[in-house]
Amino acid sequence: MAEAAPDDLKTVVLNDKHVALGGRMVPFSGYSLPVQYPTGIIAEHKWTREHAGLFDVSHMGPSFLVLDNKSGDGEADHAAIAAIVEPLICGDIRGLKPGQVRYTLLLNEQGGIHDDLMVARPAADGWGGALYIVVNAGTKETDFQRLAAAAAGKATLNRSDHCALLALQGPEAAAVLDAIVPEAVELGFMHYASFDWRDTKLVIARSGYTGEDGFEILVDPEHASSFWDTLLADGRVKPIGLGARDSLRLEAGLPLYGHDLDETVSPVEAGLNFAISKRRREAADFPGARRILAELDGVLERVRVGLLVDGAPAREGAPILDQHGAEIGRVTSGGFAPTLNRAIAIGFVSPAHATPGTRLQVLVRGRAQPAEVAATPFVPHRYVRKASK
């Protein structure tokens, strides 16, 4: 039975659509969101792997950071806006090409991860001096505060979290979108642009959080309902809730902020070395650089690993044990993987126990169960690196 949101929770633009579809609404990051629909999490998970799943991720924090005074020189304006953001993160924003999206990390002074986020450079002419930034829901208020403080007197942060942000994911996502906004299918992975649809603009990125090919689409509140309905009118598309979103990202080996990532975990411990751009490493000009560069040189006490678990799923907080029963770490995410038909987990252990194939144990309800360190992703990613058309 679908339920209305409690008074203390925010609702997304499409809340009534989810309730009407029988979505089981639960609290998540201060919002009322559907954890599943009547078909159930496993069916939704498998549908996304085989067809196209439609996720409402409007609780996230999309925004646009725009220079207050542009020079008119696109490259100079881009360098100026990049200079505002880069002191907060470890990514090379200055080096972004028009239309390119970069995954990066907002760091604290100790090198811990305050959030992971997407930063993109607009492709359209005349958009030098602007960035499209999407942050996580749970930290968006503090993220926006940090960005606004860094931009004070130089740029303005325009929040777009009143809009709908939809994720269309799965092997048939491109074919579905091709029938609605065909130009968007020409995007390659981690690129974005704005597209006309009816009498509005859609901001579409080829990206996602499932390991599948797909798109994340920002649409204004006035057109959100009709766009949602247009997508669902295609028989290849079904609505998917937070439960399957979590199992899909776990199979894809993708970390979840607040669970696998937090203020104590560094990018190196998290296995996100790729997010520390080469130019930034060489300049050592990002927060926590001393710690992070030392870890890159091997001074490392723990690392994130994947685990294949025999028996019942090991949930967050479950102790990870060596073969002698000594605790060597903790599970940070765990559950059942429908694609593999077995339990999997993510956790942190010492580098000495992190080699794939290492036999370990996890403690589940007081019982030690066999586990094996596995390379991630557990299920191969199927991103489309180049344009489809």
| Structure confidence at residue 259 as a pLDDT band (50, 70, 90) | very high
Distances (CA, A) of 52 to 216, 219, 242: 13, 19, 15
Domains parsed from the chain with CATH numbers: 10-58+163-251 (3.30.1360.120), 61-159 (3.30.70.1400), 301-374 (2.40.30.110)
Give the model confidence (pLDDT) of 116-143 as tens digits: 999 999 987 556 799 999 999 999 999 9
Neighbours of 271 (CB within 10 A): 19
| Structure confidence at residue 1 as a pLDDT band (50, 70, 90) | very low
pTM over 0.85? The answer is: yes
Share of residues in the chain with pLDDT > 90 (%)? 95
Q: Which residue has the tokens 């992971």?
A: 116
Quickly list DSSP for 102-147: EEEEEE-TTS-EEEEEEEE---STT-TTEEEEEE-TTTHHHHHHHH
- Please classify residue 123 by burial: count the beta carbons closer than 10 Å to its beta carbon, then call 0-12 exposed, 13-18 middle and 19+ buried: middle
| Structure confidence at residue 4 as a pLDDT band (50, 70, 90) | very low
DSSP 8-state symbol, 210 = S
DSSP SS3 for 64? strand
Give the model confidence (pLDDT) of 207-243 as tens digits: 999 999 999 999 999 999 999 999 999 999 999 999 9
User: What mean pLDDT is reported for the chain?
Assistant: 96
Give the model confidence (pLDDT) of 328-340 as tens digits: 999 999 999 999 9
DSSP SS3 for 214? strand
Distance CA 99, CA 310 (A): 44
Q: What is the mean pLDDT of residues 189-193?
A: 97
Give the model confidence (pLDDT) of 293-336 as tens digits: 999 999 999 999 999 999 999 999 999 999 999 999 999 999 99
Pairing of strands 214-219, 237-239: unpaired
Q: Which residue has the tokens 């650089």?
A: 289
Q: What is the mean pLDDT of residues 36-57?
A: 98
The pLDDT of residue 118: 98
Distance CA 31, CA 20 (A): 17
The pLDDT of residue 125: 59
| Bond before 377 cis per omega within 30 degrees | yes
Positive or negative torsion for Cα 297, 264, 65, 127: positive
| Structure confidence at residue 385 as a pLDDT band (50, 70, 90) | confident
